[in-house]
Amino acid sequence: MAEQMSDDERQQSPPSDLDFTSNKARTCIVTGSVSGHTEFQSPYPDQVLENVLENVLHFLTSRRDRNTASLVCKSWYRVEALTRSELFIGNCYAVSPARATARFTRVRALHLKGRPRFADFNLMPSGWGAHFNPWVLAFAKACPWLEKVYLKRMSVTDDDLATLAESFLGFKELVLFCCDGFGTSGLAIFVSKCRQLKVLDLIESEVSDDETDWILCFPEGESHLESLIFDCVECPINFEALERLVARSPSLKKLRLNRYVSIGQLYRLMVQAPQLTHLGTGSFSPSEIAGQGDQEPDYVTAFAACKSLVCLSGFREIIPDYLPAIYPICANLTSLNFSYANITAEQLKPIISNCHKLQVFWVLDSICDEGLQAVAATCKELRELRVFPVDAREDSDGPVSEVGFQAISEGCRKLQSILYFCQRMTNAAVIAMSRNCPDLVVFRLCIMGRHRPDHVTGEPMDDGFGAIVMNCKKLTRLAVSGLLTDKAFDYIGRYGKLVRTLSVAFAGDSDMALKYVLEGCPQLQKLEIRDSPFGDAALCSGLHHYYNMRFLWMSSCRLTHQGCQQIAHAMPRLVVEVIKSADEEEMDVCDQILYMYRSLEGPRNDAPKFVTIL
């Protein structure tokens, strides 16, 4: 590949000492001698150490391990920065683009996060910030060899996409997760100029329809595409152009289609790309313009031909009559996402009964407890389960309960992550989960009705969540709900020593609840709280820990402006933002949002009018 690089690409390559070179060549200093013969002198000991260290650090891939290594001494700090090719920034306001590019000069991949997670639930006004523009401009100037960008909850404009495509000649991968601000015209510019593009993944992002045919803008000739995900794009696409693109992409492994792709069109794409390993099916229903007399393609044969398929999703506008088409591949599936498919337990059973290798399963609660029991009976390798509600209203009749929950815990003993929406739960079922699935790392139980107790005993859910933190020793992420007293938070503080992310809603009795957590969870990084009775005393109990956290979010709690101001004065390197609704001039602080995060730069300069930085 090196001999095929253009002159421009060679000029844009990073310094050659990123590559592995001979240790002998790197540790010898050439000088002249009186006799005219070349002499070799040993370098200084510190230089030898740095050369050795640089080669060693190339093999250190964990960002946490690298962060630790950089703290050893100034020499390690310098060498670690020179050898870091992948940069992760968990909050785009924690450090400036200028500081990041000055320290890490050889970065090839950038991971950047913006808005906090609660923004996904319309709890943050639009226009808050998290703009990608200053980052792409800084990296265009300092790191022209950048190849990969992964953005989460960032605002990205069409101009940003154009800059990305024009500034990095060897750019290969773009992943936009929960991003907004751009449209199909920006995508058109981007794909037309990125001739080495391998990955374009648009995941749960808002893409405006500019009536631009962006699929048609991919360069002609053989494509390098390995992954193309656009299931979130809510506008029709040029299917003929997509079909040609798939046909000329022999390396394509992942393809996720939007709801405007019919099952007939899906068939044509599968015939072109039997090598797919990950497939998002699009609508999984026939086109409205399909003729009634047209013969149906052999969907079963098309799926059977995709022998490498292990991950299946989509089903955006499913007609269950077509589900038998996927039967041939069920035995190979390790991931199945039915989170858009409103199917019943009877429709699920013939599928799930053959999914013995399944490790990841997302589904709607329309399958009821009976469907979850079928999952438990078959999927003994299951590692992750997410059950989403068809009807998320608090007063709805939830079709799943502690019955399906306990069945999963008894049948899927290797479970490591669960997100479970329901209307009723019992302590006994949660305690059973803690004992049957001790390897749980993520436990998110969302009882949708506020302050719901154990629906059998009427007791608070304290003992259930207490059992989770006591018995699941690897737990790092926890979301609590239901009727909870301070006792539950006492359990979390005493036993949740590895918990890094905690989400709380409508829970707790007093300030003591939050104090238990802040004083007892040394690894806590992200704390999200809404509609809970925590005030200034609870907030101040975390003064010793806030510099170690990525952020704290509190909305609709019992804070006062004075309490928030006290935190800002006590911790000058902490950015304390008070956010009110964009259309409300005056709001009591109890109804506002407190968002605090650590930053090397201090207050940001792009805060909108509805944000007050204390």
| CA angle, residues 346, 350, 352, in degrees to nearest 5 | 100
Q: Is residue 532 part of a domain?
A: yes
Residue 455, pLDDT > 80, answer yes
CATH code where residue 488 lies: 3.80.10.10
Q: What is the pLDDT of residue 31?
A: 41
Q: What is the pLDDT of residue 73?
A: 82
CATH code where residue 66 lies: 1.20.1280.50
The confidence band for 110, taking pLDDT boundaries of 50, 70 and 90, is very high
Residue ranges making up the domain that contains 71 = 50-80
Q: Is beta strand 278-281 parallel, antiparallel or unpaired with respect to 417-422?
A: unpaired
Residue 529, pLDDT > 60, answer yes
The confidence band for 292, taking pLDDT boundaries of 50, 70 and 90, is low
Cα 548 to Cα 441, 542, 565, 594, distances in angstroms: 21, 10, 20, 18
Q: Is the dihedral of CA 171, 70, 553, 562 positive or negative?
A: negative
Q: Is residue 327 part of a domain?
A: no
79 vs 105, more confident: 105
Q: Is residue 436 part of a domain?
A: yes
Q: Is residue 558 part of a domain?
A: yes
pLDDT digits (tens, 9 = 90+) for 540-559: 999 999 999 999 999 999 99
Does residue 550 contact residue 573 with C-beta atoms inside 8 Å? no
The two tokens of residue 504 are: 């709380």
Cα 16 to Cα 12, 167, 355, 569, distances in angstroms: 11, 20, 48, 47
Q: What is the pLDDT of residue 586?
A: 57
Q: Picking from 41-45, 281-285, 335-339, 448-452, which range would have the lowest pLDDT averaged per residue? A: 41-45
Q: How many domains does the chain have?
A: 2
Half-sphere exposure of 444 (CA within 13 A, CB side): 19
The fraction of the chain above a pLDDT of 70, given in percent, is 89
pLDDT digits (tens, 9 = 90+) for 10-25: 334 343 333 323 333 3
Residue 564, pLDDT > 60, answer yes
Q: Which residues contact 464 (CB under 8 A, 6 or more apart)?
A: 425, 426, 427, 428, 429, 430, 431, 434, 454
CA 295 to chain centre: 42
pLDDT digits (tens, 9 = 90+) for 316-359: 999 999 999 999 999 999 999 999 999 999 999 999 999 999 99
Q: Is beta strand 29-31 parallel, antiparallel or unpaired with respect to 39-41?
A: antiparallel
Place of tokens 């690894």: 523
Q: Is residue 496 part of a domain?
A: yes
Q: Is residue 174 part of a domain?
A: no
432 vs 20, more confident: 432
Q: With the CA atoms of 290, 295, 301 and 306 taken in that order, what torsion angle do they form, in degrees rounded to the nearest 10? A: -20
Q: With the CA atoms of 299, 303, 304 and 309 taken in that order, what torsion angle do they form, in degrees rounded to the nearest 10? A: 180
Reduce the DSSP state of residue 474 to 3 states and report it: coil
Q: Model's pTM, two decimal places?
A: 0.89
Residue by residue, DSSP assigns 52-97 as HHHHHHTT---HHHHHHHTTS-HHHHHHHHHH--EEEES-TTSS-H
The confidence band for 63, taking pLDDT boundaries of 50, 70 and 90, is confident
Q: Is beta strand 574-579 parallel, antiparallel or unpaired with respect to 593-598?
A: antiparallel
CA 136 to chain centre: 20
Total H helices, total E strands in the chain: 21, 25
DSSP annotation of 576: E
Residue 10 burial (CB < 10 Å; 0-12/13-18/19+)?
Answer: exposed
Q: Is residue 519 part of a domain?
A: yes
Does residue 332 contact residue 307 with C-beta atoms inside 8 Å? yes
Q: What is the pLDDT of residue 14?
A: 41
Residue by residue, DSSP assigns 484-548 as --HHHHHHHHHH-TT--EEEEES--SSHHHHHHHHHH-TT--EEEEES---BHHHHHTTTTTGGG
Phi and psi angles of residue 111, each rounded to the nearest 5 degrees, phi first: -110, 125
Cβ atoms within 10 Å, residue 71: 9
Average pLDDT of the segment spanning 202-207: 97
Does residue 280 contact residue 302 with C-beta atoms inside 8 Å? no
Q: Is residue 280 part of a domain?
A: no
